[in-house]
Structure 1
Amino acid sequence: MESATEPGPEPAAAGGRHMTAPAAAPAAFRDARVLRWLAAYTCSVTGDVAYFMALSWAVARAAGPAQVGAVVAVGALPRAVLMLGGGVLADRWGPRRVLIGSDLVRAVVVLAVAALTAGAGPRLWPLCGLALVFGSVDAVFMPAVGALPVRLTSPDQLARVQGLRSLAVRLSNAVGPLLAGVALSTGGAAMAFTVSGTLFALSLAFLLALRIAPLAAAGAPGATGASVGAGGRAGAGEDGAASTAAVAEGEAREQAAGPRAPRPTAWADLRAGLRRLRSRPRLLMLVIVVALGDMCFSGPVATGLVLLTTGRGWPPAALGWILTAFSVGGAVTGLSLAVAPRVPGAGPVMAAALLVAAAAITAVGRAPTAAAAVVLGGALGAASGVASGLGNALVQRETEPAYQGRITAVTTLCTLGVSPLLLPVTGLVAAAWGPGALFAGFGAVCLTAAVLACTPVLRGIRLPGTGTETP
């Protein structure tokens, strides 16, 4: 089980290389703990997709289409406002506990609204309350998701974990709408909410079966969750004895150290995390690069594609094919990262992928035909998948385990938090200068990320096992 406490002082580590000598862990795609986490994450993301479709459908039936955006915004606001606090909770309580609590709350409230909707039909105010609670829980869930991988495996497997995570997202985005559509057509919003709540309950079951090492052992420099215990496998369900030994070792160290200092407040923990980020130029630059690289793909690009297809007079099916090509491209690169034995020069590869993404997204806005846009969409999905997967793996690599939740919260806030603010700008730019100018703007953002990825502080960055890192 996870430790409820974490070390008070900030870990000392030179140059940001905190996890350079862990015990060997199996390949991520063969690691039982990683696969349990992946199953939980896939169920959760699929439940997310089904939930948003059910919510939009129910609100449209209860109050009309004009209210759908307002109710979705009710959920987006607490997610953005509470995100940094969610990172603090993930670091204070442990990511597994936070994820279990998040899935439990989401399963209960979604199934409760499903029962209410089945009995009385969709009602606006309960749906608003559901959106508010769901958005608040999302603010806690997302940082915990980012904090968990380093507690499951060794640093040389982080790129593979990110590849598996990308595959899970693509699969969920394909299966979620299908499940929600079938549920809506057979049983209405109540059935769709039931499907979503059941998926959260399944995710909860997988998380309850997951065991990870306590942070008291895993948080030490040079260690991860996979490097604690016999053979680096502490915390797995079948290795409970190793996990118990790790906990006993941590307790012995605490007793030898004497009385524990008073625990800092949550506000102090948040400030400590932000100070840590500011004091680490390499980590700060990585967070900026990842945020810029992912920012446009959290919603604005999908909106831009709608405006592009309608403006060019292409059939609605063209939009579906472009989005499908984007997802397939991302799935291919996700699979490649998941099975690749190593990624030589992760930093330069990330920069090159961002450069390709900048060129592809700009070209999409200038595509002469729908077929050309489909091909470019596939290239864009592949390039952005590589950049995002490697970028997030490098951020996790450069962050001490005790700060994973807070750093993930900052990165997520800069993407999902800023994304809704860009949607009105997307419409204004397309109306004033056309979709071509809009996609050129997206390309400029990706190009900025590529340029920053080539700066000296990131130029020689590597993932463990991929070569010698430049100091």
Structure 2
Amino acid sequence: MTTGPPARSLPREPLGDPRLRRLVVGQGLAAVVDALFLTWLTLFVLELSEPGLTTGLVLVAVALPRAVLLLPGGVLADRLDPARVAAWASWLRVAVLLALGAVITFTSPSVTTVALLAGLLGMADAAYFPAAMALLPAVVPTEKLSRVNALVQGAESGGDLVGPAAAAGVIAAVGFGAALAGITAVAVVAALALGTLVRLARLGEGAGPDAVDGDQRLGGLHSLGEGLGYAWHEPLVRALLTAVAVINIAVVGPVLVGGAVLADQRLGGAGSLGIVLSGFGAGSLAGSLIAGWRPPGRRGWTVVGGVAAIGTGTAGLAVVTDVVTATAVVTLIGLGSAFLGVVIVATLQERVSRQLLGRVMSLVVLATVAFDPFSYVVAGILLPFGTTAVFLICGGAVLACAGLVAASPVIRSLR
């Protein structure tokens, strides 16, 4: 496995090139669309039915196809070209949003209809996410990957931070139909921007890590097995994916579920949870931008330190007694998580063979998306023992992961 040169047709200053600005705009706006639509969907389903199981089932209709099809989506990106798959998936999103807009405008939609269309959007996401992440090395010079990743992930964090309030405000002002039309318009701009990159990415073919001979000729299941085998047997990829998975399982559930109980018991009421979670969003945005502005020189020890810091912060929530301290700790956890995410994704984009990158990126997304339910289950199992136990056990698990990562020679030597 080697690290190849940057795409030859591109200048060395990615953000000064209008084509690469279109990449950042396209992927950034796509992330904003995700944040806005999730809020729109939740509120619209609540309008159609009583709060409860129905809302959860519609959200599952989005999440389940996305999780199940992520790995095949990675195979698709590797076999058909990530730029083309990202563009197709973006236009499929637009088509689904237009169909949903027509349904709510001209009919009296049922929850089932909305759920089916939401499921199609989840299928589009499964193709889009690995393709979009695999696309970056095809159009971005290697030394600038961290900066571009930071801008894209920063847009995602910013959307998560302001998206719910913005979507709710627009819905209250103009209604569901007009709000969905606005979200669709943003999705169209994102698809147009990404569509212009198909030819650009093809110009960079042959650059980057060495190809795996004959991989393009493998069948779908064989290709999937090839990607899973590579991720398992390659020490660097295995270590980084393990860190992502452990952090997601041990932090997401405790912060959301355990944080709600902590807010009610120690921080002055459930209303304080919103303040604490806003701190996480702000920290994530800051962490993404810092990682792009000042990429670390010693990546291996940065990964170890980042995992250890997240574990320490999670364990530290066991002793917080006021909302200011809790918000500060959660902000640092968000900052560390986002910083680490940029470093890990950029490292994999640089070092994984281009013909396997879509499959590896699908595993990264899977580790950050599909494991959320397991994290909630872990938090639920531990909560009867008290919030102190939740945060100490989960924080300890992340710290143990930091120790395992530090024990890897390939991580320690990573630059």
Structure 2 length normalisation: TM-score?
0.90
1:212 counterpart letter in structure 2:
L
Moved more, 87-96 or 107-116: 107-116
Residue number in structure 2 paired with 1:275: 229
1:264 aligns with 2:218: yes
Q: Is the 8 A contact 1:61 1:122 kept in 2?
A: no
Residue number in structure 1 paired with 2:401: 449
Q: Distance in 2 between matches of 1:410 and 1:392?
A: 11
1:212 aligns with 2:173: no
Q: Is the 8 A contact 1:294 1:388 kept in 2?
A: no
Q: CA 1:435–1:32 in 2, change beyond 3 Å: closer, same or farther?
A: farther
Residue number in structure 1 paired with 2:31: 45
1:417 aligns with 2:390: no
2:23 counterpart letter in structure 1:
W
Q: Distance in 1 between matches of 2:96 and 2:149?
A: 30
Residue number in structure 1 paired with 2:58: 71
Once the two structures are superposed, what CA deviation does each residue of 1:265-317 show, in whole Å capped at 9, x if it has no partner?
Answer: 21221122222223322222222223323445556533332232123352444
Once the two structures are superposed, what CA deviation does each residue of 1:378-416 show, in whole Å capped at 9, x if it has no partner?
Answer: 221222222222122222222111111000111221221
Match of 2:357 among 404, 411, 435: 404
Match of 2:130 among 137, 143, 147: 143
Residue number in structure 2 paired with 1:390: 343
Which structure has the bigger radius of gyration?
A: 1
Q: Distance in 2 between matches of 1:192 and 1:331?
A: 25
1:133 aligns with 2:120: yes
Q: CA 1:325–1:335 in 2, change beyond 3 Å: closer, same or farther?
A: same
Match of 2:142 among 140, 150, 155: 155
Once the two structures are superposed, what CA deviation does each residue of 1:21-54 show, in whole Å capped at 9, x if it has no partner?
Answer: 7768534443433321111122111111111112
SS in 1 for 2:268: coil
Q: Is the 8 A contact 1:295 1:416 kept in 2?
A: no
Residue number in structure 1 paired with 2:183: 196
Residue number in structure 2 paired with 1:113: 100
The two structures, once aligned, show a CA RMSD in angstroms of 2.5
Q: CA 1:138–1:295 in 2, change beyond 3 Å: closer, same or farther?
A: farther
Match of 2:2 among 11, 17, 24: 17
Q: CA 1:261–1:391 in 2, change beyond 3 Å: closer, same or farther?
A: closer
Q: Is the 8 A contact 1:78 1:132 kept in 2?
A: yes
1:286 counterpart letter in structure 2:
L
- Runs of 5+ consecutive residues of structure 1 not aligned to the other structure: 1-15, 224-259, 463-471
SS in 2 for 1:71: helix
2:414 counterpart letter in structure 1:
I
SS in 2 for 1:213: helix
Q: Is the 8 A contact 1:20 1:222 kept in 2?
A: no
Q: CA 1:37–1:350 in 2, change beyond 3 Å: closer, same or farther?
A: same
SS in 2 for 1:180: helix
Residue number in structure 2 paired with 1:364: 317
Q: Distance in 1 between matches of 2:12 and 2:247?
A: 30
Q: Distance in 1 between matches of 2:167 and 2:337?
A: 27
Q: Distance in 2 between matches of 1:421 and 1:96?
A: 32
Q: Is the 8 A contact 2:82 2:134 kept in 1?
A: yes
Q: Is the 8 A contact 1:51 1:192 kept in 2?
A: no
Equivalence map 1:340-359=2 (5 Å) = 340=294, 342-359=295-312
Q: CA 1:261–1:165 in 2, change beyond 3 Å: closer, same or farther?
A: closer
SS in 1 for 2:205: helix
Residue number in structure 2 paired with 1:331: 285
1:50 counterpart letter in structure 2:
L
Q: Distance in 1 between matches of 2:410 and 2:268?
A: 44
Q: Distance in 1 between matches of 2:303 and 2:115?
A: 40
1:100 aligns with 2:53: no
Residue number in structure 2 paired with 1:250: none
Q: CA 1:357–1:31 in 2, change beyond 3 Å: closer, same or farther?
A: farther
Q: CA 1:68–1:21 in 2, change beyond 3 Å: closer, same or farther?
A: closer
Equivalence map 1:172-191=2 (5 Å) = 172-191=159-178
1:437 counterpart letter in structure 2:
A
SS in 2 for 1:65: coil
Moved more, 90-99 or 161-170: 161-170
Deviation, 1:261, is: 10
Q: CA 1:102–1:307 in 2, change beyond 3 Å: closer, same or farther?
A: farther
Q: Distance in 2 between matches of 1:151 and 1:160?
A: 15
Q: Distance in 2 between matches of 1:357 and 1:439?
A: 11
Moved more, 397-406 or 269-278: 269-278
SS in 2 for 1:19: coil
Residue number in structure 2 paired with 1:55: 41
SS in 2 for 1:217: coil
